Amino acid sequence: MNINVICIGKLKEKYWRQAVEEYSKRLGRFCKLNIVELKEAPLPKNSSSSDEQEVMRKEGESILSHIGQRDYVIALEVEGKMMDSVELSQKLQKIYDGGYPAVDLVIGGSLGLSPQVKKRGDLGLSFSPMTFPHQLMRVVLLEQLYRSFKIQSGETYHK
């Protein structure tokens, strides 16, 4: 399975990079993982609502340019569907069985995802009604992907 994690912003702190490296290494047994880090659009100080919308539009265009036409897109968004780990594992298996060339998991920047990216998504996925920093969300997402593959392969993984 080809998995692309498309995200806005680079991981600045060493501990986030180390966690991502560890889960990326673990996931290598199960899938071809590609992490695409896209540049954050600058947000002016004392920004207006229209400034924020423009940042989301620019970031959205950048995200959409990295999504394959036939890829299955999962947009991480607060308003999305919540699943437990078993449900996510089953969903990923169904996507794989559906013959999609790749699964693109999209993490927006600090302002979230543009409406255009959400519209392109085949599934909106929420990990919680709470808002998380996008750096932390990348680590949580990779851990859940790893857990999903362990579940699919019948291997034990702590609960």
Give the model's pLDDT for residue 131: 86
Was domain 2-43+51-153 assigned CATH 3.40.640.10?
Answer: no
C-alpha distance from residue 94 to each of 72, 97, 130, 137 (Å): 11, 5, 27, 23
Mean pLDDT of 46-75: 96
pLDDT tens-digit profile of 93-122?
Answer: 999 999 999 999 999 998 999 999 999 999
Distance from C-alpha of 108 to C-alpha of 137, rounded to nearest angstrom: 10
Give the model's pLDDT for residue 157: 72
Task: Extract the annotated binding site.
Answer: 76, 108, 127-132
Task: Extract the annotated binding site for S-adenosyl-L-methionine.
Answer: 76, 108, 127-132
Q: What does pTM read for this prediction?
A: 0.93
Structure tokens that stand for 119 in this block? 């519209």
Q: Which one, of 127, 125, 134, lies nearest residue 35 by Cα?
A: 134
| Domain extent listing, the chain | 2-43+51-153
DSSP per residue, 64-118: HTTS-TT-EEEEEEEEEEE--HHHHHHHHHHHHHTT-S-EEEEE-BTTB--HHHH
Give the model's pLDDT for residue 88: 97
